[in-house]
Copies of this chain bind each other. A is one copy, B any other.
């Protein structure tokens, strides 16, 4: 096991009616006037926005709304938020939505107190090694989509304009002070978005699970526990979007998948996320759908680096029977993973995603890997490897 430092200080208010705690939680973390940051009309249509506003007003917390966050959230709105925060004397950033709203809120929370252009600090050239964010305004989240895990994570991913390059901002200062998580808020999520969330949660665990680090039984076990949960409870939410317990299990799994409790002490991969970000940057597809295309192809491409690990994944996550031919066991695990993604309605090929094989060189180039640079740590990938890998998904 590798040495690590870990903290996950977010206060989680989880369950039916948890949103009523929003105002007092903002106050508890020092907020008196919040930027209320959200996406499109869905949080207004389904009543979540109104409930949050009621909770803020009951607690005497002022707010300034800023809607319009889109999936793959954009730099322009972050800049608008930073200006608004500075102009309006705002002291707390409250996101209402899924990972996009929370990520956008985190970028605003950082940019508003950063002495300089936020892009210079965090969204620089070296996407594989960004500087750690040390200071940010307090952020809170009212979660409406179980997927990104941003409600408990230390990351924010923003699409930089004009090229829509996705870049990551990272640091414990970005962890939300609190997250309000009412599984009922995910009841009305359409099946496709629900499935994208499942694929994303699974991938967050898998990026940590596939590691070159040895002697990490406890996190191996927890990773497998979370992946099995996503598959079994995911099947239930796909069957019945109003299954409260299944939605709740998926929601809490989504948080544990990405607050890093299952990833401490081990080298993590993250190549699939890096590659997917280029897909969603270019095609503006859902992140979870992009992962459904990239990650099985990544598995096929890298499995020979550690067949035993993939065989274990097959046996413990997918129930494949052990056998003398570890490679066959491993391949069957990957096949079941892909079949699962398809069973919940996700594309696993370029064609299904609406992506074009002829864009593969461009996608690989957009990663900005110079000669000798690699992506991922389970099996480091060159730009040429990325092209080969993506061609497995055409």
Contact = CB atoms under 8 A, between A and B. Distances in A.
Contact of A12 (B6, B218, B244): B6
A256 interface: yes
Contact of A218 (B2, B16, B216, B256): B256
Contact of A217 (B9, B18, B229, B264): B229
A341 B115 CA distance: 58
Contacts of A11: 5-7
Contacts of A244: 1, 215
A334 interface: no
Given A264-B252, A265-B14, A226 B232 contact: no
Nearest to A178: B7
A387 to B, nearest CB: 37
A229 B221 contact: yes
A153 to B, nearest CB: 15
Give the bracket for the number of chain A residues in contact with chain B. 35 or more
Given A245-B215, A249-B217, A252-B264, A15 B4 contact: yes
Interface centre among A10, A13, A216, A249 (most CB of B within 10 A): A249
B215 A249 contact: yes
Contacts of A265: 14-15, 248, 252
A157 B48 CA distance: 42
Contacts of A225: 218, 221-222, 224-225
B9 A9 contact: yes
A241 to B, nearest CB: 15
Given A6-B14, A245-B1, A221 B214 contact: no
A185 to B, nearest CB: 14
State the 6 A-B residue pairs at the shortest beta-carbon distance, nearest first. Answer: A3-B15, A215-B245, A9-B9, A221-B225, A225-B225, A1-B248
